[in-house]
């Protein structure tokens, strides 16, 4: 009898372990199936969502750009027909300028190339600006057409503030990754993460021709952000010190912020073939 009792106990224990193990395996298989379904669904849905996000981003940037900026883009147009032809060449997101222009035919390609060169800021070529726009568009998932307004604005404002445009573009990359609606936990907003409540006077001082869209307006944000950056550089006496000041560091220890900006600035220069300005 004792042996039979022991055998019965072991049998019940074995049955219990088997039951729990089977239940555990069943639960694991159910969760694994759910994970596979979710993964496959996300894989199918994400490309479409990304395309929609890019379209919304492009539309918002275009809508927020003041009329004066759109006029500035047209200041160097040769004529209305040439403007239309150049738009065709500029509409290919990831293709080099030479490939896009080549599709226009020999005569129209020459005219489009001339227009691209005429639009390029002083000291740069049309192909360099094209490469710069392509780099920003691909790396930061920005609608290609929107990069034209951003780069044009940065070059004009950089010239007025005596700032290297690539430095400003690098600051935008590190601060917001080119998201005009970015906002930090401490209230920094827009492309250059401007603290609106601290710098409201700079927004108020902007002329009406620039626009009064606030920190989330890309053009306004660039104007105010570059003003702050210029003041910081003048106050600290160097670009490195100015960047530390811009990020809010009281001394030179900025947690590596200046190094990140300068590294991205060099990547922008390499990608576009534009020479770095001396600080």
pLDDT grade for 2, boundaries at 50, 70 and 90: low
Which H or E run includes 4? helix 2-64
Is it the case that residue 80 has pLDDT exceeding 60? no
Reported pTM: 0.61
Mean pLDDT of the chain: 77
User: Once rounded to an integer, what is the mean pLDDT over residues 122-148?
Assistant: 94
Q: Tens digit of pLDDT for each residue in 240-252?
A: 999 999 999 987 7
Residue 81: predicted pLDDT: 37
- pLDDT over 70 (residue 102): no
- 160's tokens: 């007025």
Instruction: Give the C-alpha distances (Å, rounded to integers) separating 10 from 1, 6, 15, 24, 152.
Output: 14, 6, 8, 21, 81
Residue 164 pLDDT greater than 90, yes or no: yes
Please give the Cα distance from 247 to 162 (Å, whole number). Answer: 20
- Identify which of 224, 161, 156 has the alpha carbon closest to the alpha carbon of residue 189: 224
């Amino acid at each position: 009898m004792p042996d039979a009792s022991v055998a019965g106990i072991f049998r019940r224990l074995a049955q219990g372990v088997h039951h729990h193990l089977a239940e555990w395996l069943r639960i694991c298989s159910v969760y694994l199936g759910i994970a596979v379904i979710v993964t496959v669904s996300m894989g199918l849905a994400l490309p479409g969502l990304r395309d929609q996000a890019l379209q919304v981003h492009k539309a918002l940037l275009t809508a927020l750009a003041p009329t004066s900026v759109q006029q500035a883009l047209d200041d160097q147009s040769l004529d209305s027909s040439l403007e239309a032809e150049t738009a065709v060449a500029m509409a290919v997101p990831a293709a080099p300028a030479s490939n896009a222009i080549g599709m226009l035919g020999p005569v129209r390609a020459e005219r489009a190339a001339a227009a691209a060169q005429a639009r390029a800021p002083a000291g740069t070529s049309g192909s360099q600006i094209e490469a710069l726009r392509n780099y920003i568009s691909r790396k930061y998932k920005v609608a290609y057409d929107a990069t034209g307004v951003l780069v044009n604005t940065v070059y004009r404002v950089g010239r007025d503030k005596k700032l290297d445009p690539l430095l400003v573009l690098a600051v935008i990359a590190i601060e917001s990754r080119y998201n005009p609606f970015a906002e930090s936990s401490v209230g920094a907003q827009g492309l250059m993460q401007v603290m609106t409540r601290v710098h409201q006077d700079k927004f108020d001082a902007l002329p009406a021709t620039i626009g009064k869209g606030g920190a989330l307006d890309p053009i306004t944000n660039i104007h105010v952000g570059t003003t702050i950056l210029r003041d910081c550089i003048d106050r600290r006496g160097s670009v490195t010190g100015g960047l530390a000041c811009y990020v809010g560091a009281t001394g030179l220890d900025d947690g590596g912020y200046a190094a990140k900006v300068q590294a991205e600035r060099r990547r922008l220069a390499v990608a576009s073939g534009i020479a770095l300005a001396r600080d």
